[in-house]
Amino acid sequence: MELISYIITYIVVISSILTLCILFHKKLAYFFNDLISDCRWFIQENDSLFTILFLILFFVEQLFLIIFAYLFRENVIVLQIIIGVFALVVVTTASFQKTILDVRIKHFKGQKEIAENLYLYVDELMSRFSKKKLLKK
């Protein structure tokens, strides 16, 4: 009987969440799009800050590893867990750094593409203008 009540509660909660998502999906999409755009702008405007922040973060992570390795040097099992957690934290931090760098690189590639297209457009206009000037002479 208890299992049935848990299943019914689970179904009600999931269906409520799905109903809310269906009703507000456009508003949620706009909200997350605005949030991501703001984050992208902040990352692009403060790229040096993020470089320094990640350097400090990697330093602090390694410092904690050294301190914990010294404190728990006698307990091998705890030391193995600490090293495993350290590896996970470093990989996660590196993934965040890569994501932020990818945002910057994508922005610069987009700006480069816009500049190249603008150059080609202006070059084409200049050549048309030159041909018309030559024809009038």
Instruction: Report pLDDT for 40.
Output: 81
One domain, residues 61 and 121: yes
pLDDT tens digits, 62-87: 999 999 899 888 988 888 888 998 99
In this predicted structure, the answer to whether residue 137 has a pLDDT above a threshold of 60 is no
Instruction: Report pLDDT for 62.
Output: 92
pLDDT tens digits, 44-65: 888 888 889 989 999 999 999 9
Instruction: Report pLDDT for 2.
Output: 72
Instruction: Report pLDDT for 135.
Output: 57
Could you tell me the residue range of the domain that residue 23 belongs to?
A: 1-44
Q: Which of 44, 62, 79 is where one domain is finished? A: 44
One domain, residues 12 and 64: no
One domain, residues 31 and 70: no
Instruction: Report pLDDT for 43.
Output: 81
Instruction: Report pLDDT for 1.
Output: 62
Mean pLDDT of 128-134: 75
Of 102, 98, 89, give the one whose Cα is nearest residue 59.
Answer: 89
pLDDT tens digits, 110-128: 889 999 999 988 888 888 8
Of 92, 68, 67, 93, give the one whose Cα is nearest residue 82.
Answer: 68
Within 10 angstroms of residue 95's Cβ, the number of other Cβ atoms is 10
One domain, residues 90 and 128: yes
Instruction: Answer whether 90's CB lies under 8 Å from 61's CB.
Output: yes
Question: How many structural domains comprise the chain?
Answer: 2
One domain, residues 39 and 59: no
pLDDT tens digits, 25-41: 777 777 777 887 888 88
Give the angle 63-66-68 at the CA atoms, nearest 5°. Answer: 105
